[in-house]
Amino acid sequence: MANYNNNIIKYILIINSFLCAKIIWAQNQNEIQLANEYLLKGEKSKALDIYRDLAKNEVNVPFIHNNYINLLIDAGATEEAQNYLKRILRKDPQNLQYRADVGIVYVRSGDLTKADNVFKELIAENKTNVSRIKMLSDYLASRSLAEYAIVALVEGRDALGNPYLFCLELASLYRVKGQKDKMVQEYLTYVMQGSANTQYVKNVMQVLLTQSEELESLEKILYERVQKYPDMEVYSDLLVWVTMQQKNFYAAFIQARAYDRRNKKFGEKCLEVARVALDNEDYNNALIAYTYVANEYPDGPFYLQARLGRIRTREARIRNTFPVQPDSVQSLIREYEKFISENPDNANALEAQRNEALLWAYYLDDKDKAVQRLTHLTNNPRASLQLKSRAKLDLGDIYLLKGEPWESALLYSQVEKSLKENPLGYEAKLKNAKLSYYKGDFRLAQEHLDILKEATSREIANDAMELSMRIKENIALDSAGLALQAYAVVELLLYQNKTEQALEAIKQLKEGKTKISKEDAFLNNFSFDATTPGDSVWVTFTNHTILDDVYWLEANLRMKRGEFDKSLALLQRILDDYSEDILADDAFFMQAEIYDRQLSNKEKAIEMYREFLNRYPGSVYVAEARMRYRVLRGDFTNPQIINP
């Protein structure tokens, strides 16, 4: 019976102890929360007093340590901080953070020698343990001690005899320190661990290496590595990539040619260079690369792609040499027809059929022939869903050219429905939004555009954002949207190649006049002469904020007509009257391009590109302007212009 009573007493004592501990812990939690609140409010002395009292109980240390030690350091209480750290280290002598904090307190107090000794001792003790040396480095980096964090990882790597350890961590630390050459070296070492890492490194370096001198430095490093390790395919691949980043496509082609020969790729890398050069409007080097692949690998898997690429490059050059000559377009069509007849069942021939149809529609004004060819393509069982959908969008565009927007809307909606989460589906929605915009239904257009702002395709999202902003800005100043309606009409006329009508409409826009239906005039309370014959009347508007856009439209139209002096004058008008507007850098860059690509005035183009780089360093055209400036200045070794 006595033993039973003793057990009961022990049990009661345990319960009481547990309840007391729980009550004390609850009280401590409240105190910790109060101290944290004082700290957030900036009342540091009050917070420090509470943390100081809480620190007397070691149970609280893990919950208050960071805030407490930081407050002690901020208050200059170095001796108190060191005494606190000595006390908690007696309980937990292997705690890396507490030991590192000893050194951090010395750093903050200015005793760098003692701090250095602490950190070196910690690194020496832990350098053969991967997880602990990594943990130590991370903590030192988080406390703005990147140099010691780097030493920890480098010594750890050396001690463990593994040169591939900690590459990404070191690259990140070197970036923080601004040591980009060392950062690049670490990324290149990381690449050697597996080809799967290559794309990751390209993505990172594309973001981090934005200056031309940084890319040139990387190019130099890669040249050295290619010479030292000629069999390392990844270095050759990266060398091609970095020369393309600099838009030095001839140098990229030379490297790609060597890469393809060495690795028996049948011109695959050269084809990649050609495609990127074409996208960047470097037609000469695109033609060189495509021609090389077609001539060097006539039996290879990329022969037809190279042949088609040559025709597409010639087409792009003709499209962008103003005014476009019908004879040149006819010559292109003959090339496409020959390619199609020689390879009737090939997927490349189907793509060629689409390209040919668009030439008939946009440059030879034979819309019926274009519709016939595109309809045949949409019904071809060999055509992929992507190509058929693209052809449907083209058909919709051509029906808009013909003045049949209802047919366009039907085709756009079909593609939008069948490819909802696909870039082509988003493009179809954008085209439907523009249809509503052309008709003056800005509310419906805005509904489409609001969805498209979140599109996965950056280009589509940007186009949607641009049109959305134009609608909002102009409706805010002119609730009836008269100026915007007139502007949208001009855009549609230009799209339909009705240039004379477009020029007349532009003239009226400049004068602040537009023609609307009598019904709309009545609904918007505009005064007008009801006896005016017909269903429409002229009204005036006061919203002139759209004039810079009008000048921009006309400048593009004049350029395409070969009226370069008029185009340059209109662009100068934008620069003179709207120098702070969003179109200013567009106008300046377009002037430089006219001197460069249309007038072949090399000296003037160099001067304008140089001034552009100084005046608009944040423009989206900076990379292109820098490349053209360097090409014209003779920085790159370029071959003779060819036109095969």
For the residues 567-588, what does the mean pLDDT come to?
95
* Sequence-distant (≥ 6) Cβ neighbours of residue 283 within 8 angstroms: 277, 313, 314, 316, 317
More confident residue, 517 or 42: 42
What is the enclosing helix (H) or strand (E) of 515? strand 513-517
The CATH classification number of 76-165 equals 1.25.40
Q: Is the pLDDT of residue 247 over 50?
A: yes
What's the first-to-final CA gap in the chain, in angstroms?
A: 112
In the Cβ-directed half-sphere of 626, how many Cα atoms lie within 13 Å?
19
β-bridge mates for residue 536, sequence order: 517
For the residues 181-201, what does the mean pLDDT come to?
90
Q: Is the pLDDT of residue 15 over 50?
A: no
Closest CA to 551 of 611, 620, 503: 503
CA distance 513 to 501: 15
Residues counted in the chain: 644
- Numbered ranges of CATH 1.25.40.10 in the chain: 177-495, 562-644
Q: Is the pLDDT of residue 7 over 60?
A: no
- Evaluate whether 602 touches 612 at the Cβ level (below 8 Å): no
CA distance 58 to 644: 82
Q: Is the pLDDT of residue 285 over 70?
A: yes
- For the stretch 141-188, pLDDT in tens is 999 999 999 999 999 999 999 999 999 999 999 999 999 999 999 999
DSSP state of 596: I
Amino acid identity of residue 348, one-letter, is: N
Q: Which of 21-35, 74-88, 118-132 has the lowest mean pLDDT?
A: 21-35
CA distance 317 to 643: 10
Q: What pLDDT was estimated at residue 24?
A: 46
Q: What pLDDT was estimated at residue 588?
A: 97
The structural architecture, per CATH, of the domain 177-495 is Alpha Horseshoe (1.25)
- For the stretch 326-335, pLDDT in tens is 999 999 999 9
CA distance 111 to 109: 6
Q: How far is CA 176 from CA 21, 149, 169, 182, in A?
A: 46, 11, 11, 11
For the residues 197-211, what does the mean pLDDT come to?
90
Q: Does residue 323 have a cis peptide bond before it, meaning omega lies within 30 degrees of 0?
A: yes
Strand ranges (E), 211-268: none
Structure tokens at 113: 């020698």
Q: What pLDDT was estimated at residue 307?
A: 97
Q: Is the pLDDT of residue 617 over 60?
A: yes
For the residues 304-310, what does the mean pLDDT come to?
97
Q: What pLDDT was estimated at residue 25?
A: 46
Structure tokens at 278: 């074409």
For the residues 561-585, what does the mean pLDDT come to?
95
* Sequence-distant (≥ 6) Cβ neighbours of residue 549 within 8 angstroms: 470, 487, 583
- Portion of the chain with pLDDT greater than 70, in percent: 89
Give the chain's mean pLDDT.
Answer: 88
What is the enclosing helix (H) or strand (E) of 539? strand 536-540
Q: Predicted confidence band at 18 (pLDDT cuts at 50, 70, 90)? A: very low
β-bridge mates for residue 516, sequence order: 537
Q: What pLDDT was estimated at residue 536?
A: 64
Q: What pLDDT was estimated at residue 319?
A: 94
Residue-wise over 5-37: b if at least 16 C-beta within 10 A, else e?
A: eeeeeeeeeeeeeeeeeeeeeeebeebbeebbe
604: number of Cβ within 10 Å: 15
Give this prediction's pTM.
0.81
- For the stretch 462-471, pLDDT in tens is 899 999 988 9
Q: Predicted confidence band at 63 (pLDDT cuts at 50, 70, 90)? A: confident
DSSP state of 325: P
Q: Sign (positive/negative) of CA torsion 91, 94, 98, 99?
A: positive
- Portion of the chain with pLDDT greater than 90, in percent: 66
The CATH class of 562-644 is mainly alpha
Return the SS3 of 91: helix
Q: Which of 180-189, 472-481, 510-519 has the lowest mean pLDDT?
A: 510-519
Q: Is the pLDDT of residue 19 over 50?
A: no
- For the stretch 258-269, pLDDT in tens is 999 999 999 999
